[in-house]
A and B are shown apart, each in its own frame.
Chain A
Amino acid sequence: MIFAIPLSFFVGAVFCILANKKITAKKIAITFALINFALCFQGNFVNNLLAKGSFGLGGWTPPYGIEFFAEPIGLTFVCLVSMIGFFGLMYAGAIPSKSKQNNNLFFALTLFLLGALQAISLSGDLFNIYVWLELSSICAFAIMGYRTKEGAFATFNYLLAAGVAGVIFLLGTGLVYGASGTLNLAQISTLPNPGQSISSGFALIITSLLIKMALTPFHFWLPDAYGNSPTKTLGVIPAIVTKAPAIILFKIALQLHQNQINWIAFEFFLPLMGAGAVIYGSLMAVKQAKLKKILAYSSIAQLGLVAIGIGILDVKGTLIQIIAHSVVKFSLFCSVGALEHFANIKTIDELKSTFQKSPILSWVFIICGFSLAGIPPFAGFFAKYYLVVSSLEKNNFFIVAVILLSSLLTAGYFLKILENIVFTKYTKKLKSLIPKTIYFPIVFNCSLVIIFGIFLPKLISALEGLA
């Protein structure tokens, strides 16, 4: 049954291409997203997450067949993609398109992207991961530059980065295959004496994943790509695209850190790069005037925390950080997109009229801002809490200091946004031009920021305890 989850997106994508005026691509996309959502969250949801095991595609078992490997971390991410995808498509559907062209291709590509992201986190062998990763990159690239000139230019950097990363990944895969004769991660993890070429192969693979997750110093493609991509894509792309490589990296790390990969080196470098990302991203975010750019740099900073969590192999902290950040950034990017598209608010200074134009979105900014800063009782807090715990276990006090500092750094750039929203003179209430349909995905995800703050830590602890 596990194949059915990504498959539902792929089938939906095919139907989207065939859509006509009566049955629009939007409706088809949302329907299939709903089916996917139902498949992910059916029955006893927590038990589903704990389902563990290997499934050979079409009955071909590994090492010959294509293996899907289910385990809690991957499944959690599948559910996250399903949820964000569903709401992201709703958001994209609520934004009216400027041109008269139909959006069949846009929705088809988005569904392909979502399916690929789910398939990545279910894959159990390196070559599969490579294929899905490339598919997701190509789709993401196509959507970000979808029929806009500036988007196309901005995403060119992304194309270059993703292309180079893909080649490096393939190179690493080749090295591993040549030395071990298998691509299956589970089989690689049982090899008794991995040689030099396997560890160098994995070093290449990890480097490629770091480029794709835009960890400093490989972040160069991200600010422009997020800052200029069309409004429709703001639901899906920033929230989950960079998280998928992170999840893969984490899975590889957890499976192979004991024997095959020289993890001591990564335990040193990854948190260091993560700390660099936290500091660099936050400092750069302070300088920006465009809202989307601020959020993009903030994503870099928050991905730094994810990298720290992966480096010190902290399951709870990393998973909570990934989920919390996805939900928070979804709400924030969608709000910014809505404000830009309907109320012509693009920069920090223009935010001053936000409270009159849309009190709801102002509240979204306030709640998500506090969550980003890691203030309890919002979702971001426990990520920081567990990250501090794990880095204390590793006696890495530099990282502890950076994690603790990150809330101040976040305040540094987000306070400018909040001040402009909160401390402004009321004039009369302006008529809101923002359509009501756009509020639902944003408000739902924003309320999740609060709900996750209370329930997520317990759920994740349960997952880790039983995994």
Chain B
Amino acid sequence: MNEMILMVLTGFAASLCIALSKNKHTFRNMIFITAPFLVLLQNITYQKDSLVNEIKIADFGNGLSLAVVDSPNMVATLFLYVASILWLFAAFYTLSYIQKNSLKKSTRFLSLFTLAVSSAIGISVSANLLSLFIFYELLTMATWPLVGHKENQEAKKSARLYLYYTLGGASLMMLGIVIIWKYSGNMNFQYANGMLQMVPSNLQKITMAALLLGSSVKAAIFPLHGWLPKAMVAPTPVSALLHAVAVVKAGVFAILIVIHNVIGLDLFFQSGIYKYVLFSSGFTIIYASIRACGEDNLKKRLAYSTIAHLSYIVYAGCFSLLAAVLHFLAHALMKIVLFMAAGIIQTETGKKKISEMAGIGSMLPKTFSAFTIMSLGLIGLPPVIGFVSKFQLLGYLPNGLSSIYSSIFVISGMVSAAYLLPIVIKGWFELSKTKKIKESNGMTVPILIITLSACVLTLLN
């Protein structure tokens, strides 16, 4: 069996094992930690075969197949690495989170968590649009019970909303996929460019719209972003890994694939559809940044910030894949730390709202230092990787556009300072009569390591 298939199947097998491990919690936790290790190991030692383009897992006839690619392209490789490395850190974090919060139905939680990340990894290495779609739907199915994990009325409602949004998006995507398949016969996108050119011109616009709209649900672009802030009702590990990295980045990944490989940059600019993408993502950046300022709930504020930053990546992806990929990486590192820190604050002190967070810095110094550093990075200040990526974003904007469009980045940078710095200031400088709390290592160590590596990555760049 091919190693790439093995890598994808490792996660699914682990998820199944966890689901079947009845009350053996040690065994279950071992598998939960081992799975990302194994995937990462396979990832690093993987050597491409270079003889075949795609490796079929299942063949559905008529040129339809579930297949993985042999050598992933740049975006796919990056997504694969980001997902599997952060999965490892998130795994440690999740276990102590579960222990600290005494989360109910933890076996189901861990199993679905593993299933969801494995699907994201499947998305990153899928060879054709149909495989991407199948993993995409698996991701939806696995995340739905995670969003509603708290099982109160609010959680159920959010989960239902999430499912409606993503199923609607998937339906649109399916339309695009059917049209592409019907006219080009081949859906392998990691090697082909501009499959859309084979589609007759009267259907091209519909196809583009369907594919872009379908994938922008998970990427939370403006009119379709409503599920993300609501989904923050989920336990923090889900918000951290899935709703800051895996799920939303899968959406962004799909958009980048659609723009660069399915539509092709030539057609993308000729047909004028780039204007809509630029406008909606630009609008999302501004809109979500402003909405973030008004949120008092820390996780919701971070969620709006995620929405804004996802649009950064899409926006940049219209011009340069490199800038997009860099911000893709930077945002994943920064946002997961911010969410995890929010989770620690909530676990240790029970505080969810920003207005309650006076003096949190002296209570949880390690956690809050990481939070502060990454906030600076998200605003676009040194020393974190966010500085580099934002610099690149500005640098890659084409000359003709730069006057209007680069102002979006500058404005939103200022707005993100407006919604992140108050938290930092409040946390460090507003004193309250609370003692220092002992931070649990299981949760703080992962975020400190990620923070450190993000700083180191800046220097390497």
A377 touching B66 in the complex, CB below 8 Å, given contacts A457-B61, A458-B60, A462-B61: yes
Q: Which of B71-79, B167-175, B313-321 has 4 or more CB atoms under 8 Å from chain A?
A: B167-175
A407 contacts B61, C-beta separation under 8 Å: no
A376 contacts B134, C-beta separation under 8 Å: yes
A461 touching B61 in the complex, CB below 8 Å, given contacts A392-B178, A419-B160: yes
Give every chain A residue within 8 A of B182 (Cβ-Cβ).
389, 392-393
A423 touching B151 in the complex, CB below 8 Å, given contacts A392-B182, A461-B61: yes
Asked if A375 CB lies within 8 Å of chain B CBs, one says: yes
One digit per residue, 1 when the CB lies within 8 angstroms of any chain B CB and 0 when it does not, for chain A 383-426 equals 01100110011000000100011011001000100010011111
Asked if A133 CB lies within 8 Å of chain B CBs, one says: no
A376, A382, A385, A454, most chain B CB atoms within 10 A: A376
Give every chain A residue within 8 A of B155 (Cβ-Cβ).
423
Complex Cα–Cα for A454 and B61 (A): 10
B137 contacts A376, C-beta separation under 8 Å: yes
**Residue ID in chain B nearest A420 by CB atoms:** B156
Complex Cα–Cα for A385 and B104 (A): 38
Asked if A87 CB lies within 8 Å of chain B CBs, one says: no
**Residue ID in chain B nearest A425 by CB atoms:** B151
Complex Cα–Cα for A460 and B141 (A): 27
Give every chain A residue within 8 A of B104 (Cβ-Cβ).
426
Asked if A373 CB lies within 8 Å of chain B CBs, one says: yes
**Residue ID in chain A nearest B60 by CB atoms:** A457
A411 touching B178 in the complex, CB below 8 Å, given contacts A458-B59, A461-B62: no
Asked if A370 CB lies within 8 Å of chain B CBs, one says: yes
A404 contacts B175, C-beta separation under 8 Å: yes
Q: Which of A375, A388, A415, A423 contacts B137 (CB 8 A)?
A: A375
A389 contacts B64, C-beta separation under 8 Å: no
Give every chain A residue within 8 A of B394 (Cβ-Cβ).
none
A405 touching B179 in the complex, CB below 8 Å, given contacts A370-B141, A423-B155, A426-B105: no
Asked if B9 CB lies within 8 Å of chain A CBs, one says: no
Q: How many residues of A contact B (CB 8 A)?
A: 32
Give every chain B residue within 8 A of A460 (Cβ-Cβ).
61
Size range of the chain B interface in the assembly: 35 or more
Complex Cα–Cα for A376 and B58 (A): 12
Complex Cα–Cα for A385 and B182 (A): 11
Give every chain A residue within 8 A of B191 (Cβ-Cβ).
none
For the complex, would chain B's binding face be called helix, strand, loop or mixed by DSSP majority?
helix
B178 contacts A388, C-beta separation under 8 Å: yes
A411 contacts B164, C-beta separation under 8 Å: yes
Complex Cα–Cα for A44 and B304 (A): 59
B148 contacts A419, C-beta separation under 8 Å: yes
Asked if B36 CB lies within 8 Å of chain A CBs, one says: no
A375 touching B141 in the complex, CB below 8 Å, given contacts A415-B160, A419-B160, A426-B105: yes
Give every chain A residue within 8 A of B229 (Cβ-Cβ).
none
Asked if B13 CB lies within 8 Å of chain A CBs, one says: no
Complex Cα–Cα for A459 and B175 (A): 24
One digit per residue, 1 when the CB lies within 8 angstroms of any chain A CB and 0 when it does not, for chain B 146-185 equals 0010010001100110011001101110110011011000
One digit per residue, 1 when the CB lies within 8 angstroms of any chain B CB and 0 when it does not, for chain A 418-461 equals 01001111100000000000000000000000000010011111
Q: Which of B70-104 contact A (CB under 8 A)?
A: 104
A388 contacts B175, C-beta separation under 8 Å: yes
Asked if B368 CB lies within 8 Å of chain A CBs, one says: no
B60, B66, B163, most chain A CB atoms within 10 A: B60
Complex Cα–Cα for A217 and B155 (A): 38
B134, B148, B163, B167, most chain A CB atoms within 10 A: B167
Give every chain A residue within 8 A of B64 (Cβ-Cβ).
385, 457
Q: Which of A377, A408, A422, A457 contacts B168 (CB 8 A)?
A: A408
Give every chain B residue within 8 A of A411 (Cβ-Cβ).
163-164, 167
Q: Which of B310-368 contact A (CB under 8 A)?
A: none
Asked if B268 CB lies within 8 Å of chain A CBs, one says: no
Q: Which of A377, A385, A405, A458 contacts B178 (CB 8 A)?
A: A385
Complex Cα–Cα for A461 and B159 (A): 37
A385 contacts B156, C-beta separation under 8 Å: no
Complex Cα–Cα for A457 and B178 (A): 15
One digit per residue, 1 when the CB lies within 8 angstroms of any chain A CB and 0 when it does not, for chain B 128-139 equals 000001100110
Complex Cα–Cα for A400 and B163 (A): 21
A382 touching B60 in the complex, CB below 8 Å, given contacts A411-B167, A415-B160, A423-B148: yes
B171 contacts A405, C-beta separation under 8 Å: yes
Asked if B145 CB lies within 8 Å of chain A CBs, one says: yes
Complex Cα–Cα for A422 and B111 (A): 14
B174 contacts A404, C-beta separation under 8 Å: yes
Complex Cα–Cα for A426 and B145 (A): 15
**Residue ID in chain A nearest B203 by CB atoms:** A392
A404 touching B171 in the complex, CB below 8 Å, given contacts A376-B137, A426-B104: yes
Shortest beta-carbon distance, A404 to chain B, in Å? Answer: 4
Give every chain B residue within 8 A of A419 (Cβ-Cβ).
148, 156, 159-160
Give every chain A residue within 8 A of B141 (Cβ-Cβ).
370, 375
**Residue ID in chain B nearest A391 by CB atoms:** B178
Shortest beta-carbon distance, B35 to chain A, in Å? Answer: 21
B-side residues, CB < 8 A to A, are 58-62, 64, 66, 104-105, 133-134, 137-138, 140-141, 145, 148, 151, 155-156, 159-160, 163-164, 167-168, 170-172, 174-175, 178-179, 181-182
List 27 A–B pairs whose Cβ atoms lie within 8 Å, in order of A's numbering.
A373-B167, A375-B141, A376-B133, A377-B58, A377-B66, A377-B138, A388-B174, A389-B178, A392-B178, A404-B171, A404-B174, A407-B170, A408-B164, A411-B164, A422-B145, A422-B148, A423-B145, A423-B148, A423-B156, A424-B151, A426-B105, A457-B60, A458-B60, A459-B61, A460-B61, A461-B62, A462-B61
New contact pairs (14) apart from A385-B178, A462-B61, CB-CB < 8 Å:
A375-B140, A376-B137, A376-B138, A377-B66, A389-B182, A392-B179, A405-B171, A408-B168, A408-B171, A415-B163, A419-B156, A423-B159, A454-B60, A458-B60
